[in-house]
Structure 1
Amino acid sequence: MPLHGKFRKTKGVKRPRRLPGRRAARYRPTVRDRDTARSGPAPLPGDLDRLTSLILSNMRNVVVFCLTPDLRIAWASPSLEFYSGQSCEKAVGRFCHDVLHERETSCPGCPAREAIRTGHTRESEMRTPDGRTWRLTSNPVTDAGGRVSAVVHVATDVSQLALAKEELRQSEERLRLLVDNMPVLVHAHDENLNYIYWNKEAERVTGWSAEQIVGNPDAARMLHPDARVREDVIRAAHRSGNYLNMEAEIACADGSTRIISWSNVSATTPILGWSIWEVGVDVTEKRRAEALRERVERIMRHDVRRPLCQAVEMATLLRDMGGLSPEQMELVRDLEQSGRAGLALIDATLKLERLETGCGLSEALRVDLRNLTRRGMERARTWEAANGVRLLLDESCPDVAPLEVLGEPVLLGSMFENILLNAVQASPKGAPVQVEIGQDNGQVRIEVRNKGVIPLAIRPRFFEKYATWGKAGGTGLGAYAARLVARAHGGEITAESRHGGTSVVIRLPLAP
């Protein structure tokens, strides 16, 4: 067939008659390929019967039958012998259920029988005695009078697909069994945020059964009666990507409340049919213990401050009265210094408490971090001897370069000493603890390196409150307080630990 034929307007096309009150439609003549009209359609290459036989012989997973109205085989594709072991010649004239399914009567729900009865295409799925699964499609063929004269019956072997589906179903069942018995809360939503799964631990912690939650349009209101909390939870569920440790209060069936830390793992671990699913940990007792601990610490700070003030005043009076021997004077001086250091620590703790509540800094003085670091290193010499490590200070910029920041000197000193003490305590015996201070892109950069390695389980929580490991009497407040101070001063602290050591970097903006 030529691709570029000669075209002409078709003759005999009349212009549409103009109706009263209407404009005549524009004349658009049709076109056709004159060469095609003259020559007719191009014939198929080769012999049609041979081509059909070639196609059918390569359809190894499909068997095509032509059935008579009484379900006898009038014709079958060559693939019949591959699956049934019977040639097409032997199959012709026999019932299809006898040849393919080894049955004496037609199969229940036979689509060919239904297609003959209704005159419409019918489909079904069936397993043969050899264990294979077939998808059956029956298309009726009608004569000039509209009666069904034959049925084209197509049987497709979908055994591998069925096997894969069964394996997937079994895997999902095992996963559901695992998730249902996990010692953490698990729930799942569909795309409309309706609850579609609620595991046993969720039932135990909240008192709400799966029957009460799953499919209940009021489940979100039952679990989160507070509209603000409910909106936060819904907003987080709509948020793209995963989120970790989002805490929310849940109302339990007995009227109490629990604090659950939820993590959305839908993207990293998708489950078929679950649009969103979350894993939750009950942190109620932990948060209550933290609140109690903070109240006790607040009371202790208040109660300890008064006797410390009295001790400092008495030491000052003794020093001013005179008449003491040099040894006694030194003891009084040590008592006064220790008391003042204790008061400074209490004041710093109170300031940290203000930072936690978002009150900000009470003053902003120009603080030279170079001198602050040197003083901190000198005070840490006692740690050096006690822990058997070596403290090394590396100043990467000359003394003339200003390294001043705006902030509170006591808090900044406490921040540096907390990080330095952590490094000293975590360092192996005899290993160096290196401190490097310099300037980088308008920031003061202090890096503390040691040869100790933070355990993998602690690394994500290194700066969290009360996170500690391997230290007798450790409170888990040092790194937390240090980051709190750094952020209050517009800076940041990061930690990186790998095989061979740990590096903690403090960055604070230079004073203008």
Structure 2
Amino acid sequence: MDVNKSRPKVLIVDDAPENIHVLLKALKQDYAVIAATSGEKALEVAFSDIPPQIILLDIIMPGIDGYEVCRRLKNSPKTADIPIIFVTALEDAVDETKGLSLGAIDYITKPFNPNIVRARVGNHLQLVEAMRIKDDVDRMMRHDLKNPLSVVITNPCIIKLSKEIGEIECSMLDDIELAGYTMLNMINSSLDLFKIEKGSYRPELISFNIIEKLQLIDRQLSPLAEAMDIKIKFSLDENKLNKSSFCYVIGVELLFYAAISNLTKNALEASPEGAEVRIAIKSSEVCELEIHNKGMVPEQLQNNFFDKYVTSGKEGGTGLGTYSAKLFIEAMGGSINMNTSENTGTSVVVKIPMDRCSNKESTNNASGL
């Protein structure tokens, strides 16, 4: 049995054999260590069928230097996640900053301290493994959750076909079905969020009527609004929405629904009891959607309102609502910003591209032309 197959693979890249020898001696007991004496050879090993789990990379080398090797590895989806530690005699902060800006995770300076080398490599490999396990568990949970949800979504439709079901029962089944679709959308949007964060998401942009999505959000959040004695008011170009209202945009339906649902829920939770949340749409060159509530964002959160895990005063809050909304809107080619004050409350403004052709057709159909 080859014990190296069960040990993490470490690639050492240095044109000086004596440096390779020192690092090899420090790491060979715990890792499967391979060496490359040039940037060209390092790239060949990294792009092989069995890439290294971590790379210790010298900066100053003839031919392709360490900075260029790092840049090429980070620009390729196949090798972008491999952690890179620069090993160098350079101590200038500018050199360190340049390396980190290219995607390196750490620096080890020469001459090497074997204990520090082992500790740095071990710590970074543990972090990578922890993230891999977390991602695997997340993906399995999302996949496994979809199977029972199919029963929650489809069975109410089947039961409602029975003539023995009354109006109250039908309403309850509608609520179950809506809850199932809401959970399914949450699972699907979390998968998209994962892809966006990894840089692998490719949006399939289509034309859709956002009024239909807002009506679904209103139905979904009505119980929360009623419990807080808050009214959600919608308007399109200063007119009240009705069943024939339309505003077509170019985007991704699921991402739009998830983003606006999160932002509206956030506005409800931040509103004073008995107030109202306004969702105003303006259709011009772009679709501008403003979500306003009368609460003010705490001063300590105003500068990082859209950052990950930022939350305040909400029991059980994850701090992912506004963060995911920003990523979703920007993934569709839109923009999002927030302004807040004690006098005016808080407004989150979302802008996404309009579909002028569909809006023109709908106008003609509505007017009977």
Q: Among residues 326, 332, 338, which one is paired with 1:489 in the alignment?
A: 332
Tell me what 1:392 maps to: 233
* Structure 1 position 434, deviation (Å): 2.2
Shift, 1:350, TM fit: 2.1
Q: Which residue identity does 2:141 align to in structure 1?
A: M
Report the CA distance shift for 1:443/1:330 in structure 2 as closer, same or farther (over 3 A).
Answer: closer
Residue 338 in structure 1 maps to residue 338 in structure 2: no
Deviation at 1:251, TM superposition (A): 4.5
Unmatched tracts of structure 1, length 5 or more: 1-218, 259-281
1:189-237, Cα deviation, whole Å (9 max, x unpaired):
xxxxxxxxxxxxxxxxxxxxxxxxxxxxxx9959xx8852669x95894
Report if aligned partners of 2:335, 2:351 keep a CA contact under 8 Å in 1. Answer: yes
Work out the CA distance in 2 between the residues paired with 1:286 and 1:439: 47
In structure 2, the gaps of 5 or more residues are 1-56, 61-65, 71-83, 109-115, 357-369
**TM-score, structure 2 normalization:** 0.58
Q: Residue 353 of structure 1: CA displacement?
A: 2.6
| Equivalent position of 1:405 in the other structure | 249
Residue in 1 that maps onto 2:322: 479
> What is the CA–CA distance in structure 2 between the aligned matches of 1:387 and 1:350, rounded to whole Å?
31
CA deviations 1:447-502 (Å, max 9, x no partner) are 11222222233223221222212111111111111111111111111112233322
Contact 1:489/1:508 (CA < 8 Å) preserved in 2? yes
Q: Distance in 1 between matches of 2:131 and 2:319?
A: 12
Aligned residues of 2:206 and 2:252 also touching (Cα < 8 A): yes
1:448 maps to a residue whose letter is I
| Counterpart Cα distance in 2 of 1:287 and 1:502 | 39
8 Å CA contact 1:384, 1:390 repeated in 2: yes
Change (3 A) 1:425 1:337: closer
Distance 2:280 2:255 in 1: 20
* Cα displacement (A) at 1:408: 2.1
| Paired residues of 1:453 and 1:502 also in contact (CA < 8 A) | yes
Give, in whole Å, the separation in 2 of the partners of 1:341 and 1:315: 15
Give distance in 1, aligned partners of 2:325 and 2:237: 23
Does residue 1:254 correspond to 2:117, yes or no?
yes
Pair 1:391–1:476, CA change in 2 (3 A): same
Change (3 A) 1:234 1:422: same
The aligned counterpart of 2:295 is 452
Q: CA deviation at 1:507?
A: 0.8
Q: Alpha carbons of 1:283 and 1:418: their partners in 2 closer, same or farther (altered >3 Å)?
A: farther
RMSD: 4.2
Aligned length: 264
| Equivalent residue number for residue 503 of structure 1 | 347
Hey, what does 1:438 align to over in structure 2? 282
Partners of 1:451 and 1:290 lie apart in 2 by: 39
Aligned residue in 2 for 1:373: 214
1:366 counterpart SS class: strand
Give the stretch that moved more between structures: 424-433 or 311-320. 311-320
Distance 1:374 1:328 in 2: 22
Q: Is the 8 A contact 2:233 2:277 kept in 1?
A: yes
- Please identify which structure carries the higher helix content: 2
Cα gap change, 1:334 to 1:434, in 2 (>3 Å):
closer
Same amino acid, percent of matched pairs: 25
The CA deviation at 1:389 is: 2.5
Hey, what's the Cα distance between the residues in 1 that align with 2:118 and 2:137?
28
Bigger-Rg structure (1/2)? 1
Change (3 A) 1:384 1:358: same
TM-score (norm 1): 0.43
The 1:237/1:249 distance shift into structure 2, 3 A limit, reads closer
Residues 4-48 of structure 1: CA distance to partner in whole angstroms, max 9, x if unpaired? xxxxxxxxxxxxxxxxxxxxxxxxxxxxxxxxxxxxxxxxxxxxx
Q: Deviations over 1:405-434 (max 9, x none)?
A: 112222211111111111110112223322
Contact 1:361 1:408 in 2 (8 A): no
After TM superposition, give the deviation of residue 290 of structure 1 in Å: 7.0
> Shift of the alpha carbon at 1:317?
4.7
Q: Which amino acid aligns with 2:190?
A: T
1:169-184 equivalences in 2 (<5 Å): none
How is 1:72-471 mapped onto 2 (pairs within 5 angstroms)?
Answer: 227-228=69-70, 237=97, 248-251=104-107, 253-257=116-120, 294-320=135-161, 322=162, 324-326=164-166, 331-396=172-237, 403-440=247-284, 442-471=285-314
Contact 2:142 2:187 in 1 (8 A): yes
Contact 2:153 2:177 in 1 (8 A): yes
- How big is each residue's C-alpha offset from its partner over 1:50-83, in whole Å with a ceiling of 9 and x where there is no partner? xxxxxxxxxxxxxxxxxxxxxxxxxxxxxxxxxx
Q: Is the 8 A contact 2:296 2:340 kept in 1?
A: yes
Q: Is the 8 A contact 1:370 1:437 kept in 2?
A: no
